Amino acid sequence: MTIHVNIGEAKTRLSQLVAAALRGEDIVLAKAGAPQVRLVPVAEAGEIERERLSTKRRAAIGMFADAFGAYDLSLEALKAERGDPEERERRKFGDLA
């Protein structure tokens, strides 16, 4: 159920509206009849923000799908490309033994 409340009325009923939002009701604050703000519990707001960021990241990764489509980006392939870590260490620092 959605509760629409004018901002002026919300000032006097804030504790009631917060309690209703915590119960799971949808609270919309309006100014001159136009919706302005939605009251949501902090936990729910965090979930919404995480989902928004996740969607944004998926879109950004998808943007590069064509550019990197021909490459094998699996962990095994990346490790194989780097080579033997001990050999890299010997090349970098010489034979320390």
The whole-chain average pLDDT of the chain stands at 85
Euclidean distance between CA atoms 62 and 66, whole angstroms: 8
97: pLDDT confidence band, cut at 50, 70 and 90? low
pLDDT over threshold 80, residue 24? yes
36-56 pLDDT, tens digit each = 999 988 888 888 888 888 888
**41 Cβ contact list (under 8 Å, min separation 6):** 21, 22
User: Do residues 40 and 16 touch, judged by C-beta distance below 8 A?
Assistant: no
- What domains are defined for the chain? 2-41 (3.40.1620.10), 44-93 (no CATH)
28: pLDDT confidence band, cut at 50, 70 and 90? very high
User: Do residues 25 and 39 touch, judged by C-beta distance below 8 A?
Assistant: no
Euclidean distance between CA atoms 57 and 48, whole angstroms: 14
Q: Of all helices (H) and strands (E), which one includes residue 37? A: strand 34-39
